[in-house]
Amino acid sequence: MAGKTTITIDGPGGSGKSTVARRLADSLGFAFLDSGAIYRAATWFALDQGLDLTDTARVLQAMDGLSLHFEQTPAGMSVFVNLVDVTGQIRTREVSNSIFHLANSGEVRSRLIGYQQAFAQDADLVAEGRDMGSVVFPDAPLKFYLMASLEIRARRRQRELEQVGEQINFEAIKEEILIRDERDSNREVAPLCKPEGAVVIDSSDLEIQQVIAVMTGEARSRGLV
């Protein structure tokens, strides 16, 4: 088939996007972009430099010295900031709860968009995030919006945090998810939304394999794979 194909998956945190996107990419032989990891890495970098994240001008200036690099591994995408592997460090609560300072800034977002679009230059791609179908890859021929109930998302997030050694009360996790939803959906620039034409999937009661089967079916019916 001529040209490269991009499939986008947007949705709130904990909807299962990352796992589903990675497995879908593997099964189709496509590359995989976890755009949240880019926002996480930039936030980690700013925190590591001791910057005041509310000072966007200073953060932007510091980002001149930010070099991001990614490696696909069997366990997922490894993320490097200026050659340091920060794959685990970008998943902490401190980073998660600070990202909005950068994610709310249009200037920061446009700085990070190039890293994201570069993934689609030479490869068929499954891209997941909040604005993949609406802003970063608006011409993608297949877009999904993946959602799940708050309970399920909180349980998934709890497991993810346990993997980086953080034990957090379930109610506190739910609270943090609601705050992040609110921030992601209501920011002025590139808010989380269902992109026009996106296929909506509620993953609350579905196994990963079932979600992937629905997605693969949609890709086949459009002649993309």
Binding residues for ligand DC, rule: CB under 6 A, are 13, 35-36, 39-40, 99, 103, 129-131, 180, 184
Residue 13 CB, nearest approach to ligand DC (Å)? 4
φ/ψ of 200, rounded to 5, equals -90, 130
User: In terms of CB distance, is 71 or 220 closer to ligand DC?
Assistant: 71
Question: What distance separates the 2 farthest-apart alpha carbons in the chain?
Answer: 50
Comparing CA positions, the residue from 7, 34, 192, 207 lying closest to residue 100 is 192
Q: Which ranges of 123-187 would DSSP assign to H, the alpha helix?
A: 150-163, 170-186
Nearest to ligand DC of 35, 158 (CB atom): 35
CB of 26 to ligand DC, least distance (A): 19
Please tell me what DSSP assigns to residue 134. I
Q: Least distance to ligand DC from the beta carbon of 102, Å?
A: 8
Those residues whose C-beta lies under 8 Å from the C-beta of residue 106, and which sit 6 or more positions away, are 188, 189, 190
Give me the residue whose beta carbon is nearest to ligand DC.
36
We find the least distance from the C-beta atom of residue 2 to ligand DC, in angstroms, to be 28
Closer residue to ligand DC (CB): 76 or 141? 76
